[in-house]
Amino acid sequence: MVVNFCNYMFPKMQRFGKVLQDKLWRERMNAAFLSAVLCVVTRALLNICDRKIFQKEATDFLKSIFYNALFPFLVSWAVTLLCFDNNSYFAAYLFEPGVISSALGAQAAAMIFSHCFSKMTVKSVVVSSKMADLFIPLMIFLVTSEYKISDYCFSLLSTILFFPILYMIIKYKSEIYFKTSLALIVILVFQAGINSYFAMHALADSWVKFLSMVTCILLWRIFFIMGLYAWEWVKALPQSEHSAKKNVAYLALLLRAFLAFISQAAFFYSITRVSGNIAWPLLNSTPLVACFSAHILLREHTGKTELWTLAGFLVLSTFYIVLHGSVS
């Protein structure tokens, strides 16, 4: 078995070595690599921001969720106006069923994530969300009938690597809530199904289309949360005089808006390069980077289990890059 594996891998490694000698491919790989790193770092920082914002009991949850959509919308709209003279796609995309459905899924995911961060540590949240990777490829297969065994194997194995961390969280009774975590997994799988069904990637095959689509999604998110906020406001009117005053971390949410835009732009750039396959292992490392970032910035505990998971992830990612890089 070992001999057969070596006989399979050796030609792949030879082809990958030849590919690396191509200067243009190296430049594209470097661009995809750097943008993926930027995406991972900003995503990890977004998790830190969310934990800092929503863990406080005095935080106005719905109002913070509203600004969590409004500020990124303003950033995206401003960038679109600055970079492109004629944004004709915004009007075309605004009433696309896929855009509206994606916005609904994104808003539901944002609210559940925020609720998770109000109750659970960063590590508990990112590990819970990672479990969705067990089911997302299956959802995509059910929706599109497309199935890549290598991608699913990587998704499966990279998720299994997080099982020891999940076990340690449960063993030491850390902050993890089963129903909340299950809701997070369900909404992430549902969101992947929506995006696959409506082929959202086809609406974003250029920068102007990407920015237009993101801006429209954020605008619909604002509409959805405004409706929910109005409903909650009407319900709270009888006891408004006795309700405790809640706060909104405006500066933190504004910083989060810029981080979110940079993360989305870096993600789009990394996966649309010719060597975009190289970016996937890096993008999938976000939960681990978030764990170590929370250890440094929030003093959340990280130990040998996370380090062993990181080592296993590096080995798995190397195999994935070699296999896919050899056919890029």
Reported as a single tens digit per residue, the pLDDT across 57-101 is 888 888 899 999 999 999 999 988 888 766 668 888 999 999 999
> Could you tell me if residue 143 is inside a domain?
yes
* pLDDT, position 259: 94
| Domain carrying residue 174 | 25-50+60-235+246-325
* pLDDT, position 66: 92
* pLDDT, position 207: 85
- Total of domains in the chain: 1
* pLDDT, position 203: 83
* pLDDT, position 276: 54
For residue 1, what are the contacts with CB-CB under 8 A and spacing of at least 6? none
* pLDDT, position 146: 79
Q: What band does 9 get if pLDDT is binned at 50, 70 and 90? A: very low
Reply yes or no on whether the pLDDT at 186 is more than 70: yes
- Cα distance between residue 65 and residue 305, in whole Å: 33
- Cα distance between residue 260 and residue 248, in whole Å: 18
Decide which of 312 and 328 is more confident.
312
Tell me the helix, strand and coil percentages in the chain, rounded to 5. Answer: 80, 0, 20
Contact 114, 170 (CB under 8 A): no
Q: What is the pLDDT of residues 271-323, one digit of tens each?
A: 766 555 667 788 889 999 999 999 999 999 888 999 999 999 999 888 887 77
* pLDDT, position 326: 47
* pLDDT, position 183: 93
Q: What is the mean pLDDT of the chain?
A: 83
- Cα distance between residue 75 and residue 85, in whole Å: 16
* pLDDT, position 3: 45
Reply yes or no on whether the pLDDT at 8 is more than 70: no
Decide which of 19 and 41 is more confident.
41
Q: What band does 324 get if pLDDT is binned at 50, 70 and 90? A: low
Q: Give the CB-side neighbour count of residue 201, counting CA atoms within 13 A.
A: 9
Contact 132, 189 (CB under 8 A): yes
- Cα distance between residue 119 and residue 54, in whole Å: 8
* pLDDT, position 280: 78
Q: Which of 178-182, 236-240, 251-255 has the lowest mean pLDDT?
A: 236-240
Decide which of 322 and 200 is more confident.
200
Q: What band does 190 get if pLDDT is binned at 50, 70 and 90? A: very high
> Could you tell me if residue 15 is inside a domain?
no
> Could you tell me if residue 14 is inside a domain?
no
* pLDDT, position 29: 64
Reply yes or no on whether the pLDDT at 184 is more than 50: yes
User: What average pLDDT does range 200-226 have in this prediction?
Assistant: 89
Q: Please give the structure tokens belonging to residue 211.
A: 């920015």
User: What average pLDDT does range 197-224 have in this prediction?
Assistant: 89
Tokens 């995911």 — which residue?
Answer: 109
* pLDDT, position 241: 53
* pLDDT, position 54: 93
Classify the phi-psi angles of 166: left when phi > 0, otherwise alpha if psi is within -120 to 50, otherwise beta: alpha
